[in-house]
Amino acid sequence: MDENKTINALSALAQPTRLQTFRLLVASEPNGVAAGELARLANVPQNTMSAHLSIMANSGLITSERQSRSIIYRADLETFRALILYLLQDCCGGNATLCAPLIADLTPCCPLPEAAPSTT
């Protein structure tokens, strides 16, 4: 991710309704949420939500897919990953002991599965 894409993504999240919506979409992965439901959950009119979704889609943070009469929105976790990695690039000057608590804080909900013991 380059500097311009990073600024665009961060500015898309720098508004309360969009930040709330993005967090809802992340929590709803991988199923996504219909636009009307997002408007209801965020307690905003549908046309207002449409404008917010457009801004986030243009920043690359979310994707959409038409399903029948609904448009389902999902967080683009790969773009979000690239954003976070860009921000953390060269974290702590490469000092692993300083970075370890930060990395641990970033992974509380999704612990990595332990490798299966080798049977050889």
Q: Is there a domain that residue 96 lies in?
A: no
* CA-angle at 77, arms to 20 and 54, nearest 5°: 55
Evaluate whether residue 119 is within a structural domain.
Answer: no
Of residues 68 and 114, more confidently modeled: 68
Average pLDDT over residues 101-109: 73
Number of domains in the chain: 1
Task: Summarize the confidence of residues 87-114 as an average pLDDT.
Answer: 73
pLDDT of residue 111: 60
- Domain with residue 10: its CATH number is 1.10.10.10
**What band does 26 get if pLDDT is binned at 50, 70 and 90?**
very high
**In the predicted model, what is the mean pLDDT of residues 22-43?**
95
Mean of pLDDT values over 14-21? 97
Q: What order of strands is seen across the sheet that includes strand 62-67?
A: 33-34, 70-75, 62-67
User: Within 13 Å of residue 76, how many CA atoms lie on the same side as its CB?
Assistant: 16
Residue 113 domain-assigned (yes or no) = no
**Confidence (pTM):** 0.81
Q: Tell whether 34 is covered by a domain.
A: yes
Is the residue at 19 inside a domain?
yes
Is position 49 within any domain?
yes
pLDDT band at 100 (very low <50, low <70, confident <90, very high): confident
CA 105/CA 98 separation, integer angstroms: 12
pLDDT tens digits, residue range 55-89?
A: 999 999 999 999 999 999 999 999 999 998 888 87
Expressed as residue numbers, the domain containing 8 is 3-78
| Residue 92 in domain | no
Angle at alpha carbon of residue 113, lines to 111 and 115, rounded to 5°: 145
104 in a structural domain? no
